[in-house]
Amino acid sequence: MNKPFNVLWLQSGGCGGCSMSLLCAESPDLISTFELANINLLWHPSFSEASGVEFVDLLQSIINGDTQLDALCLEGSAMRGPDGTGRFHMLSGTDKSMMHWLQDLSQHARYTLAMGSCAAFGGITAAGNNPGDACGLQFEGTHPGGILGAEYLSTAGLPVINVAGCPTHPNWITETLMMLADGQFSSDDIDQYQRPRMYADHLVHHGCPKNEFYEFKASAEKPSDLGCLMENMGCLGTQAHADCNTRLWNGDGSCLRGGYACINCTAPEFEEPGHAFSKTPKIAGIPIGLPTDMPKAWFVALASLSKAATPKRLRENAVSDHVVVSPSTRSRSTEKK
């Protein structure tokens, strides 16, 4: 057997939701996935037995070079406050801030990964007045930098890999780790914000169950309506980089399948959209945000055309919580007429 791929998972200024999501990995389940891909969890806050002193000894042995660290994973934002001290998150039992631990450990990691949008860009923890002075490992919102700096490369020569999402999908994590363990992941596999392209080259719009409503601009007006959520309800699915509606969550789910708007949670600064999350900002009745790669004039022209052509079925179903008008069925006898 080859040497195992050693993974260390740390948490800082986040909610632990990416770990909870990770536990839902499927086909195969999480423990089997790691076993079969020869991935060895050196330590994870939710699974490992080691606590306290044993854990701190492990961190020290990585820094001393006695334990190989293949993947350093951070979940949650790096906390720089107050006043750059990092004291908003001291690693328990060490009298040293997590920010400083991360800066030290990252020098010994073959790959460094940000698990979720907090660790990647700052995320929700950096919202509002950013009380914790939170940022990502290598980004502060859309700006390169973070606590490791824009120039940082892990020992294998890659920048931080941002498995962004709030939370991140369990299989975005497992597939990224499996590709790394297999030596099948290079700098060509990440996008401008260093997200794995295997999911970031898709849009949430792809496979959206509301696509027919979108085509005819038959829009929802209130929560639980079936219609497209873009015009009124703040949905950013046509701009959001992720495969949520083709990969699906917790079995058959996704935000759109759950009847609520995509808030573009894989993007830097999603936490401050500049408007209420569930209300689409408009100018002269036209939504400000356009679908990705769509020329504005075309969008406006097509939208008004398709709105004029909206069938009754879509117009009525769009503002209902159940299908009230079924698609018509063409029988052979009616076709002959």
Partner 1 sequence: MTKRIVGPFNRVEGDLEVHLDIEDDHVKSARVNSPLFRGFEQILQGKDPMDALVYAPRICGICSVSQSVAAAYALAKAQGVTMPENGELATNLILANENIADHFTHFYLFFMPDFAREVYAQESWYESVTKRFKAVTGTASKDALPARTEFLHIMGILAGKWPHSLAIQPGGTTRAIEAQERVRIAAILAQFRRYLETTLFGDQLETIIALKDNDQLKAWANEAPAETSDFRLFLHIADSLDLDKLGRSVDSFMSYGVYSRDGSQLFNRGLWKDGIHALNIEDITEDLSHSWMSGNDEPQHPYTGITMPDINIVEAYSWCKAPRLDGQVVEVGALARQQVNGHPLIRALVEESGGNVRNRVIARLLEIALVLVEMENWCRHLKPKEIFCNHAVMPEVTQGYGLVEAARGSLGHWLTVKQERINNYQIIAPTTWNFSPRDSNGIPGALEQALVNAPVRNGEKDPVSVQHIVRSFDPCMVCTVH
**Residue 252 lies near partner 1 (rule: CB under 8 A):** yes
CA-CA distance, 172 to 47, in Å (whole number)? 19
Distance separating alpha carbons of residues 163 and 165, to the nearest angstrom: 7
Q: Give the shortest CB-251-to-partner 1 separation in angstroms.
A: 3
Interface pick for partner 1 out of 6, 106, 112, 125 (rule CB under 8 A) = 125
In terms of DSSP bridges, do strands 161-163 and 134-135 run parallel, antiparallel, or are they unpaired?
Answer: unpaired
Residues in contact with partner 1, counted by CB under 8 A, come to a total of 81
At closest approach, how far in Å is the CB of 316 from partner 1?
15
One DSSP character per residue, 111-174 reads EEEEESHHHHH-GGGG-TT-TT-EE-SSEETTEE-TTT-TT---TTS---EEE--TT--HHHHH
Binding mask 288-317 for partner 1 (x = CB under 8 A): ------------------------------
Does position 86 bind partner 1 by CB under 8 A? no
Kindly state the smallest distance separating residue 332's Cβ from partner 1, in Å.
29
89 binds partner 1 (CB under 8 A): yes
Chain positions 16 to 55 lying near partner 1, rule: CB under 8 A, are: 16-21, 23-26, 29-32, 41, 43-55
DSSP code for 157: S
User: What size, in residues, is the chain?
Assistant: 337
Whole-number Å distance between alpha carbons of 147 and 77: 10
- Report, in Å, the least distance between residue 207 CB and partner 1: 14
* 318 counts as binding partner 1 under rule CB under 8 A: no
> Given the complex with partner 1, which of 51 and 292 has the nearer CB atom?
51
Please name the residues in contact with 28: beta carbons below 8 A apart, sequence gap of 6 or more: 36
Q: How far apart are CA 273 and CA 270, in angstroms?
A: 6
Site string for partner 1, 137-176 (x = CB under 8 A): -----------------------------xx---------
| Residue from 60, 92, 186, 187 binding partner 1 (CB under 8 A) | 92
Peptide bond into 167 cis (omega under 30): yes
